Amino acid sequence: MKLSDTQLVILTAAAQRSNLLALPLPQNLKGGAAQKVVASLLKQGLLEEIDADTRTGEPVWRKTGDVHGVTLAITEQGLAAIGIEPDEADNAPASETEEPPQESAPHREAEAAQSTRMPRAGTKQAALIAMLCAPDGATIEEITTATGWQAHTVRGAIAGALKKNLGLDVTSEKVEGRGRAYRIV
C-alpha cells in the first residue's frame, strides 16, 4: 500500500502518541484537505473513529447527531502500514507531539482558504520527509547521500519547506557516534 507524505506524517505522529490518537493533525492541514486525507485513511482501515473522552481533553474530530464527539485513532493495520508492531506502540514513551486539542472539523472548514501544499510522492522532498519520520531520524550527511543535495540545501529545506511551509515539527538531537539527527515528531 502506497501512502502519501501527508498520510505518513499523520500515522507516524499517531503512533508516537501514548493514546495513539491521530489528532491533532499537522498544523497546516485544514478544511477540505484534512477531510479528504482522513476519509482515505478511514476507508483503508488505517484510522478509526472512536468515542472522544472530552473530560480528559481528547480532541474531537467531529460531532455525531447525539452531540457526542468522536476522535481518530490509528488501527493495528495503520501501525503495520508504517512498519510498527502494535505492542511497540503500546510501549512507546509519551512524546511532545501531544498538543492541546484543535478546533473541531466545522471550525477547520471555515479556514479552508488556507490550503496546505504537500509534496508529490517520489520527490526528493517526499524522501526527506520519509527519512525524518523514521524512529531514529536522519543526519544531514544521510540526507545529502540520499537526495544528492548539498548540506545547506538540506538545512534550508528543513527550515523552510518542512517547518515554515508545511508546519511540521522537526527536532534535532546530538547522537553519539552519529552526529546531529533530525526527526519529525
Number of domains, the chain:
2
Tens of pLDDT, residue by residue over 110-166, are 333 233 455 566 678 888 888 898 888 999 999 999 888 898 888 888 887 787 777
Here the CATH number for the domain that contains residue 169 is 1.10.10.10
Q: Do 128 and 71 belong together in one domain?
A: no
Contacts for 115 with CB less than 8 Å, ≥ 6 apart: 30, 31, 32, 33
Average pLDDT of the residues of the chain = 77
pLDDT mean over 24-37: 87
- The pTM (predicted TM-score) of the whole model is 0.49
Please state the separation of Cα 39 from the chain's center in Å. Answer: 15
Which range of residues forms the domain containing residue 18? 5-110
Tens of pLDDT, residue by residue over 90-124, are 444 443 334 444 444 433 333 332 334 555 666 78
Q: Is 20:94 a contact under the CB 8 Å cutoff? A: no
Which of these three, 110, 138, 167, is where a domain ends? 110
All 3 cell numbers of residue 170?
522537526
Residue showing cell 524522501: 127
Residue 117 falls inside a structural domain = no
Here the CATH number for the domain that contains residue 28 is 1.10.10
Q: Do 13 and 95 belong together in one domain?
A: yes
Q: Do 21 and 76 belong together in one domain?
A: yes
Which of these three, 110, 135, 170, is where a domain ends? 110
Which of these three, 77, 110, 143, is where a domain ends? 110
Q: Do 106 and 55 belong together in one domain?
A: yes
Residues listed for the chain: 185
Q: Is 185:95 a contact under the CB 8 Å cutoff? A: yes
